[in-house]
Amino acid sequence: MFGANNIRFAQETLAGCLILLVSLFCPSWAYAQAIPANNADNSIVVLMYHRFGQDQYPSTNVRLEQLDAHIAELASGGYNVLPLPDIIHALRAGTVLPDRTIGITVDDAFRSVFDNAWPKFKAAGLPFTVFVATDNVDQGNPDFMSWDQIKTLHEDGVTIAAHSLSHDHLPALDKDTTAREVNQSIARLEEMLGKRPEFFAYPYGETDLRLMKQVEEAGMLAAFGQQSGAITPAHNIWYLPRFAINERYGEAGRFRQVVNSLGLAVQDVTPFDPHLGQTPGDNPPAMGFTMPSNINRGDELACYHSDTGRIEDMTRLGPYRVELRFSKAFRSGRTRVNCTVPGPNGRWRWFGSLFYVR
């Protein structure tokens, strides 16, 4: 029989072996993109909107009274709302940003951004970024902004960034097609605006290691998904989290919780690739991560699966390594896993993952 000390030694040895396997077998760029910073508790919340005042689309819309409440909260004096380029440049430089730093992003370039959101953000002095899927604009889809409207935003100081050509499910496409989606959407924005975009957002938040590498090779400075959580220095800069805001998750109490969130700076995250079903045995994933050593109340970590609720099969290997196991394969489409730890003053630390199964 093992004594308690021997069991703990075995657990810590296994945790060390897992981390060693990461260093031996994971492509170096996939885990070595942690953003340098002086403080592991440096947290930035980036919000993601889609539609404004289009109440027939509640899953991607916020009502205008909700938007007004969000703007009032952000303008209340307790937050540091910065342009996305300022946030990313600071992160890449290792600059610690003020507490409650917020970035605002909007995906897809719907017409309601121009008609409803831009005047309100502008009046409040709140900078924001629009990620544009260019095919809808080129095709003159009336639900989307025109190039003239996008140029007007650009000339007014709104950051315009890339969101693919077609807004397709990119991990399901072949390598040549995804390269075209990335590179030609970037080139089209540069052609129409006279400025090359610096950032990319994956449609639906879906990505994989291949696609992340293509975005990096295209010269982007950062890329964004749709997994929940605040950005920390430990995050992969080619797959940064954002909090999705819609009618359901846009009520005042929940919004206040989101903008006061802190990051959970986990490292050595497995699996490396969020695209499941590519190799035998990768679905359900063997998910794990290493908790930061300086987080109080880490023993209160709780993780949740978007379909099944709280994850009970959670094992700790040593003081910081956490392993999650799932009894059933993840369904086709998107599955989210969110982990939270109570933070100071009623705030919460978040680490979110989004997995895609074709």
The per-residue pLDDT for range 132-158, each reduced to its tens digit, is 999 999 999 999 999 999 999 999 999
* Pairwise CA distance, residues 343 & 296, whole Å: 8
Is residue 294 located within the same domain as residue 185?
no
Query: Of all residues in the chain, what percent carry a pLDDT higher than 90?
Result: 87
* Pairwise CA distance, residues 227 & 112, whole Å: 24
Task: Give the pLDDT band of residue 41 (cuts 50, 70, 90).
Answer: low
What's the mean pLDDT when you consider all of the chain?
Answer: 90
Tell me: pLDDT of 16 over 90: no
| Strands 101-107 and 44-49, sheet pairing | parallel
Is residue 102 located within the same domain as residue 221?
yes
Is residue 118 located within the same domain as residue 199?
yes
Tell me: pLDDT of 217 over 60: yes
Task: Give the pLDDT band of residue 339 (cuts 50, 70, 90).
Answer: very high
- Does 8 map to a domain? no
Is residue 290 located within the same domain as residue 197?
no
In eight-state DSSP terms, residue 114 is I
Tell me: pLDDT of 12 over 50: no
pLDDT, residue 30, reads 41
- Does 205 map to a domain? yes
pLDDT, residue 42, reads 86
Under 8 Å between Cβ of 57 and 237 = no
Residue type, 158: V
Is residue 245 located within the same domain as residue 331?
no
CATH number of the domain at 325, please: 2.60.40
Q: What is the pTM of this model?
A: 0.90
* Pairwise CA distance, residues 238 & 201, whole Å: 9
pLDDT, residue 24, reads 37
Query: Of all residues in the chain, what percent carry a pLDDT higher than 70?
Result: 89
- Does 20 map to a domain? no
- Does 13 map to a domain? no
Select from 263, 287, 321 the last residue of a domain: 263
Range 66-71 average pLDDT: 98
Is residue 213 located within the same domain as residue 259?
yes
Which residue spans within 172-227 are E strands per DSSP?
Answer: 199-201, 222-224
Task: Give the pLDDT band of residue 25 (cuts 50, 70, 90).
Answer: very low
Is residue 75 located within the same domain as residue 170?
yes
Is residue 233 located within the same domain as residue 290?
no
Query: Within 10 Å of residue 355's Cβ, how many Cβ atoms?
Result: 24
Is residue 215 located within the same domain as residue 352?
no
CATH number of the domain at 257, please: 3.20.20.370
- Does 56 map to a domain? yes
- Does 9 map to a domain? no
Is residue 199 located within the same domain as residue 318?
no
Distances, alpha carbon 290 to alpha carbons 15, 31, 83, 298, in Å: 9, 13, 31, 11
Select from 263, 282, 299 the last residue of a domain: 263
Is residue 107 located within the same domain as residue 126?
yes
Residue type, 215: V
Question: Which position has the higher pLDDT, 17 or 267?
Answer: 267
* Pairwise CA distance, residues 304 & 116, whole Å: 35
Select from 237, 263, 289 the last residue of a domain: 263
Tell me: pLDDT of 68 over 70: yes
pLDDT tens sequence across 274-287: 999 999 999 999 99
Tell me: pLDDT of 7 over 80: no
Is residue 62 located within the same domain as residue 147?
yes
Range 295-321 average pLDDT: 96
Distances, alpha carbon 71 to alpha carbons 67, 157, 220, 231, 289, in Å: 6, 18, 29, 21, 35
- Does 202 map to a domain? yes
Under 8 Å between Cβ of 308 and 273 = no
**Domain span including residue 325:** 266-357
Nearest to 11 by CA among 285, 323, 269, 298: 323
Range 16-27 average pLDDT: 41
Tell me: pLDDT of 125 over 90: yes
- Does 21 map to a domain? no
Q: Specify the number of domains making up the chain.
A: 2
The answer to which of 4-13, 58-67, 215-224 has the lowest mean pLDDT is 4-13
